[in-house]
Amino acid sequence: MNSLGGIRSWPANWRSTTALMTTTESVRKVPQVLTVAGSDSGAGAGIQADLKVCAARGVYCASVITAVTAQNTRGVQSVHLLPPEFVSEQLKSVLSDFEFDVVKTGMLPSTEIVEVLLQNLSDFPVRALVVDPVMVSTSGHVLAGSSILSIFRERLLPIADIITPNVKEASALLGGFRIETVADMRSAAKSLHEMGPRFVLVKGGDLPDSSDSVDVYFDGKEFHELRSPRVATRNTHGTGCTLASCIAAELAKGSSMLSAVKVAKRFVDNALDYSKDIAIGSGMQGPFDHFFGLKKDPQSSRCSIFNPDDLFLYAVTDSRMNRKWNRSIVDAVKAAIEGGATIIQLREKEAETREFLEEAKACVDICRSHRVCLLINDRIDIALACNADGVHVGQSDMPVDLVRSLLGPDKIIGVSCKTPEQAHQAWKDGADYIGSGGVFPTNTKANNRTIGLDGLKEVCEASKLPVVAIGGIGISNAESVMQIDAPNLKGVAVVSALFDQDCVLTQAKKLHKTLKESKREI
C-alpha cells in the first residue's frame, strides 16, 4: 500500500507483460484479482461469489480452491478440505503466471493451508492483500476452527492491507471480546489494527437492534462509520465474500482503500435491494444477484454505482457556449456521449430554473439509456428534482457534508479542490471525487487561480479520493496532464475543448483517443 491507501507499485523484480510480447504488439493490462477461498456448491458465497463480483466490477478473477463445501440455501451439509500440497500447486500455478494486483482470501480452513499461502505470497509478492477472516457460515457452520486463530493473528493479519471481519469474527480474533455496540466495534477495530493490518473494516450487519447497517472503518488514525439502511430480505448469503471481493476489485482498478470500501458497501446494498424479492432455493438464506447492474431498468434508477474510471473524459456543459453554437443542452450532451464522454455535468450558470429542470430531465433520460452518470453543477434542488446521479460543488457552494445529508449515500458528490487541505476535508465530508484546477489558464471561468501541473500533483498526492483535472485542458495538453505520476488521477474534465467547438462529436472522439493513447503510455 502507498501512503494514500492505494495499492503498492509493482516490486522491482516483477515480470513485465510487455517483456513477454514482441515489441510491435500493444498490450492492455487488465486489473486482476486472485481469490483463495472455498467452493460453495450453492454458488451464493465463496469462490463463486468472488468470481461473480469481480466480473460485475470489470476485473479478471482467478481462483485457488482451499475446500469444497456441500452447501445450499438451507446450510452447509459437508466440507471437504483440499490437501495443502494441492492448494500450494494451484497457488504456484497462477502466481507464477498472472500479474495479480490483489489477492483476496476467504475460507482458509487449516493452519497448513495458511502456511502454504504464506509461503507462496513470500515467493511471489503481490501488491495488496485483502483478508476476509471467514470462520463461520451465515447458517452457523464452522468453516475454520479456533486452531486457526493464532496463525491468523501472528502471521496473516500483519501482512494484510485490509481485514474485513464481522462482529463474531472480530470477537474471536480478539479472544472473545464482546461486541454489542458501535463503540465496541470501534474498540475492536483499534485492537485488530494493532495486530498489523493497515486498514480494518469491522462489519456490523449482525449487530442487534439497529435499523441501519453500520460498518466501522479504521485507518490507524481515523474512524469512519459507514451506514446504510438495513434491507429487509432473506437473500443475504454471500454478503461478506462479496464485500471483500468488491474491495479487492476496486483496489485492482486503482482506487484508494476508503473509496474501494465505500464502493463495495454500496455494491452490496444495491445487490441486496435489487434481489430482495428473488426466490432461489427453499432455505432460509438465499443468494443475491451480483449482476443487477446489467438488468436494472435503465429508466428507473441511477446509472450505476460510481466508478472512479468514469472520470476519464468528463464533459461539462456551458450555457453560453451552447447559445453561441445554437445547440440545446440535450444535443450537446448526446454528441459528447456519442464521442466517448464517460460522465456529464450540466453547468448552466444562466438558465432559468424551470427551463433548466426540463432540460436536465431530458438529459437524465439520455444519460441513463447510455449508462453514463449525469451530475448537476451547484444546484442541489435541480439534482433532486430531476433525480440526477449527483452534483458537483465548489468551495463557495453548499458544504459537502450538508449536500451528502440532503442527497443520501447513493448519489455522487464531486468537490473542487485547489489544495491538499481542501482535498482532505472533501474526503472527511463524504465526497466521492475531487475536481482539481484550473490546471491551465482558461477563459471559461473568470478569476479562477491556476494551480499548474505541480499544484494538481500536490492535490492528487494528498487526496484519498480519485481526482479529475480541470481548466484549460484540450487535445494539445491532455497527455501532459495524464502523465503526471498520480495513480488516483482518473481523467480530465473539459468545457470549451468540447462545447466551444463546431462539432462536439468530432472533438469528443479526438480527445477520447488522445486520452486512451496517453493512458497506454503510462
Ligand X SMILES: Cc1ncc(COP(=O)(O)OP(=O)(O)O)c(N)n1
Give dist(CA 251, CA 198) in Å, integer: 14
Q: For residue 469, give the nearest of 253, 339, 316, 320 by alpha carbon.
A: 316
Per partner kind, with CB cut-offs from 5 to 8 A, the member of Mg ion, ligand X, ligand TZP, none near residue 345 is: ligand X
> What character string, x for contact with ligand X (CB under 6 A) and - otherwise, covers 329-368?
----------------x-x---------------------
Residues 383, 375 contacting (CB under 8 angstroms): yes
How do 199-203 and 162-163 pair as beta strands? parallel
Q: Decide: is 414 part of the binding site for ligand X (CB under 6 A).
A: yes
Q: Decide: is 435 part of the binding site for ligand X (CB under 6 A).
A: yes
Q: Decide: is 415 part of the binding site for ligand TZP (CB under 6 A).
A: no
Per CB under 6 A, the list member of 496, 501, 516, 518 interacting with ligand TZP is 496
Q: Decide: is 242 part of the binding site for ligand TZP (CB under 6 A).
A: no
Q: Decide: is 397 part of the binding site for Mg ion (CB under 5 A).
A: yes
In the chain, helix, strand, coil percent, each to 5? 40, 20, 40
Q: Decide: is 51 part of the binding site for ligand X (CB under 6 A).
A: no
Q: Decide: is 309 part of the binding site for ligand X (CB under 6 A).
A: no
**Distant-in-sequence, close-in-space partners of 267: CB < 8 Å, separation ≥ 6:** 53, 56, 57, 242, 243, 246, 305
Residues 240, 134 contacting (CB under 8 angstroms): yes
- Residue 293 bears catalytic tag: no
Residue of 66, 239, 342, 514 marked active site = 239
- Residue 23 bears catalytic tag: no
Interface stretch with ligand TZP, choices 66-74, 96-104, 322-330, 470-478 (CB under 6 A): 470-478
Residues 219, 257 contacting (CB under 8 angstroms): yes
Q: How many residues bind ligand X (CB under 6 A)?
A: 17
Q: Decide: is 445 part of the binding site for ligand TZP (CB under 6 A).
A: yes
Per partner kind, with CB cut-offs from 5 to 8 A, the member of ligand X, Mg ion, ligand TZP, none near residue 200 is: none
Q: What is the DSSP string of 296-322?
A: S-TTTS-SSS--GGGGSEEEE--HHHH
What are the cell numbers at 301? 434508477
Give dist(CA 146, CA 136) in Å, integer: 11
Q: Decide: is 377 part of the binding site for ligand X (CB under 6 A).
A: yes
Residue of 5, 240, 430, 438 marked active site = 240
What are the cell numbers at 91? 497457488
Per partner kind, with CB cut-offs from 5 to 8 A, the member of Mg ion, ligand X, ligand TZP, none near residue 472 is: ligand TZP
Q: Give residue 149's Cα distance to chain centre.
A: 30
Residues 469, 439 contacting (CB under 8 angstroms): yes
Q: Give residue 505's Cα distance to chain centre.
A: 29
- Residue 66 bears catalytic tag: no
- Residue 220 bears catalytic tag: no
Active site residues: 203, 236, 238-241
Binding residues (CB under 5 A) for Mg ion: these are 378, 394, 397
Binding residues (CB under 6 A) for ligand X: these are 314, 316, 345, 347, 377-378, 392-394, 397, 414, 416, 435, 445, 468, 470, 493
Binding residues (CB under 6 A) for ligand TZP: these are 437-438, 442, 444-445, 448, 470-473, 494-497
